Structure 1
Amino acid sequence: MSLELLGGHLESLGLHTAAVALCAARLVPIAFLCPLLGGQAAPSTVKLALVLSLSLFLHLAAGVKVSVPVEGPGDLMALVLKELAYGTAVGLLAALPFDAARMGGRFIDLFRGASAEASLPAAGSRESATGDVLYQLLVAWVVTGGLFPIVLSGLLRGFGVVPLGAAVPTEAAARQVVMLAGGALATGLAVGAPIAAASMTVDCWVGMASRAAPQMNLQEFGAPLRILGGGALLWLGVGVLCERLLAEVANLEGALWLLGEVAQ
């Protein structure tokens, strides 16, 4: 084998390695933030293996290549940092509907007084029971339903919208992320608002009844009524709450496309 041919093979191998490394740099934050690709529940080895598999698929099968010249390790490191930053923004957007479910559950437990640390103080858990249930239920519905391919295709199509090395941290991209984060917060509050209103209504009626008949000592019934009434209302309305959260997941593809448009 001639030196020229060997040099050509080494240069081609370097381009392949750079493309796979940049794909992995964009996917690593997404895998660690978005529960559909692992999130916080999956082991790190599983998430890294998934990132490597998707990176090889994107480069070898989908033809994703580096769009800018890479002349040395310094240029490659700069591109890796750029892809990490853009991947973090994409991962945050992909995780927002699930974070909204967790925030809504915490809001519900705050008013019901049935959070995990209040009900089970010996367990040492600081997680909201209702928030964890809504979070896991939303993940299960998305994975078993028809939304998972839509979200995954939106994440992978981003490599066509924003080629490797072409992402630019613009003010419009930051504004888009902040706006969608505010929308997720509003969704979480909207999910917990009916149960919060019911809990406040129970407190109001108990307070009025206690003032009308102070000898009956009705304050002791306030907490059980909030917990049981809020739980019953949550049980009856969990379908409506999940539909609201699933609508946020369905809008992810458009949100990711808009982020890619403003990040070029």
Structure 2
Amino acid sequence: MNLEPLRAWLESLGPDIIVVALCAARLLPMTFLCPLLGGQATPTMVRLALVLSLSLFLRVEAGVVLDAPVTSAVALGGLVIRELLFGTSVGLVAALPFDAARMGGRFIDLLRGTSAEASLPLAGSRESAAGEGLYHLLVALVVSGGMWPLVISSVLRGFGVVKLGAFVPTEAATLHVVLLAGAAMATGLAVGAPIAAAVLTVDCFLGLASRAAPQVNLQEVGTPLKILGGGALLWLGTGVLCERLLAGVLSVEGALALLGEVAR
């Protein structure tokens, strides 16, 4: 049996396999970080299948190529590390609005005193109910609305802006990601600020009432009042909070475009 045609065919596929592998190296961190590409809740096999499918699409349909040929295994390893770093940066930026929703919910539950660590010590879960609720609500709104294609197209357009092997981990790119992370933390605090103000107002009122009438025990009233009042305010302000978080999702496109400009 003559294996020379098969060997020649496999050798001709070598550059295509390298391109697919580099695309997969960039996409892999994104699927672990960005919930719109799977996130940590998606099974590993599903994420790997998605990475392979998108990598083949980028090579076959989008025409993504590697400008310079790979001459050694060391050069290939360096390119893979670059793509992993850039994919991690893109995944972090794309996931920041959803992390802001989770941080805001945890901040709310921390002040209300209704976190899972305090109310469900035997459940084995260390998640915040409000944090997980806002996080999944934002994901559902983005996927069901028209913003999911916007974010995904912004992520995939990065292959045209920053070509394979062209990423340079500059100081400007690092500062850009750090500033975006700080803005996401500020958004999370802004989401929880109204409930925090309400909880602090209740504490102030109970403190003044205790000083005015020390014979009345108001400590047992404070916790239920903060839980119920904060929950009611959260329920009434969910629409406003979602609008603030969706504005962060809309800004992902510009943030990724700027990241591509400073990272090449």
TM-score range normalised by the length of the shorter chain: over 0.9
Maintained 8 Å contact 1:103/1:189: yes
Going from structure 1 to structure 2, the CA distance change for 1:168 and 1:209 (only over 3 Å counts) comes to: same
* Unaligned runs of at least 5 residues, structure 1: none
Structure 2 match to 1:232: 232
The aligned counterpart of 2:75 is 75
CA distance in 1, matches of 2:141, 2:182: 24
Matches within 5 A, 1:91-240: 91-240=91-240
Q: Is the 8 A contact 1:68 1:166 kept in 2?
A: no
| 2:65 counterpart residue number | 65
Q: How far off is 1:195 after superposition?
A: 0.2
1:184-236 CA distances to partner (integer Å, 9 max, x unpaired)? 00000000000001000000001101111112211211111100000000000
1:12 positional shift: 2.9
Residue of structure 2 equivalent to 1:255: 255
Counterpart in the other structure of 2:42: 42
Q: Given that residues 195 and 233 in structure 1 are in contact (C-alpha distance below 8 angstroms), is that contact kept between their aligned partners in structure 2?
A: yes
| Cα displacement (A) at 1:6 | 7.2
* Contact 1:138–1:246 (8 Å) recurs in 2: yes
Structure 1 CA distance for aligned equivalents of residues 179 and 69 of structure 2: 34
Which has the larger share of helix? 1
1:58-110 deviation digits (Å, cap 9, x = unpaired): 00000001122211222111101110011011111111011100100010011
What's the offset of the Cα at 1:120?
1.0
Q: Deviations over 1:235-254 (max 9, x none)?
A: 00001001100000011011
Cα separation, 1, equivalents of 2:104 and 2:20? 38
**Could you tell me which amino acid in structure 1 is paired with residue 199 of structure 2?**
S
SS at 1:87 equivalent: helix
The aligned residue for residue 56 of structure 2 is: 56
**Are residue 86 (structure 1) and residue 52 (structure 2) matched?**
no
Per-residue CA deviations over 1:130-153 (Å, capped at 9, x if unaligned) read 000000100111111110000000
C-alpha deviation, 1:261, in angstroms: 0.5
What is the CA RMSD across the aligned residues, in angstroms?
1.5
Using the size of structure 1 for normalisation, the TM-score is 0.96
Count of equivalent residues: 263
Distance 2:67 2:194 in 1: 50
Matches within 5 A, 1:23-34: 23-34=23-34
**In structure 2, distance between residues paired with 1:7 and 1:224:** 73
Tell whether the 8 Å contact from 1:207 to 1:219 is kept in structure 2 after alignment: no
Q: Secondary structure at the match of 2:13?
A: helix
The residue type equivalent to 1:220 in the other structure is E
